[in-house]
Amino acid sequence: MNRQGSVSPGTAAPAEERSCSWMKPWVFLVSALAIKTALVTIYLVAPFSRKGDQPTALQQAFTEWRCISAEPQERGWMCCPKGWKRFQKSCYYISGNIMPWAESVQNCTGMGSHLVVINSKAEQVFVSEEIQQSSKGLYYFIGLSAEKVGQWQWVDKTPFSVSAAYWRKGQPSNKDDQKCVAIQRASEPPNNWNDLTCEHHHRVCEAAAVTV
């Protein structure tokens, strides 16, 4: 006779034991799916869920984002709106349509950004190469203009430096009707700036990447 609680060879295990063995793989799968769902949710809503922080104008303007791991020395994620290009700590929008300078300024501002301000040769090359990948348009406004001929100023009030300018050969022409600056797509970087009229052209907007 078997002792109480033991099971003879070939005898089925008690129902309670069979149930637990059958459920173990499913418990694992459900747990894994729950963790994955939680991570995806954080990935999608993180730019808008930081407690105590007011959303930036860029965050308020967009709901779809692309995030990558932040720089090695930093923590978290660096995010740009979907369709924008990231370089270092900034996001860039290359327009597919054209509009005058004043409307270009307003368009970028309305998206929580500004016409691009070039702060380094690396940034100038990056923006130029992104523009060259576009099949539309010859000129793309940047955030440089002049109220008076030759008195160039950036839209964010960054001081203009002649030594950090990337004019094409023979530019600027410094004509009274050419007070806006654009990158010419057909010219090889880095020297591809043109001063031209402030009529209809494409544009490049820039904003700080959102770090979460």
Three-state DSSP class for residue 42: helix
Tell me: pLDDT of 34 over 80: no
Asked if residue 11 has pLDDT above 50, the reply is no
Note whether 208 and 189 are within 8 A (CB).
Answer: no
Q: What are phi and psi of 55, to 5 degrees?
A: -60, 140
The phi, psi pair for 74, rounded to 5°, reads -120, 170
pLDDT, one tens digit per residue, over 63-74 is 999 998 876 666
- Residue 196 host element (H or E): strand 193-196
From the list 51, 40, 74, 61, the residue with the least C-alpha distance to 109 is 61
Nearest residue to 137 via CA among 43, 206, 204, 44: 204
Nearest 5°: the CA angle 120, 136, 141 is 40
Location of structure tokens 């709106």 = 81
Torsional sign, CA 156, 175, 204, 76: negative
What percent of the chain lies above the pLDDT cut of 90? 64
Judge whether residue 14 has pLDDT over 70: no
Pairing, β 77-81 against β 180-184: unpaired
**Half-sphere exposure of residue 209, counting CA atoms within 13 Å on the CB side?**
24
d(CA 209, CA 88): 9
pTM of the full predicted structure?
0.75
With a CB cutoff of 8 Å and minimum separation 6, the contacts of 37 are none
- Which two three-digit tokens encode residue 119? 């702060």
Between 86 and 44, the more confident residue is 86
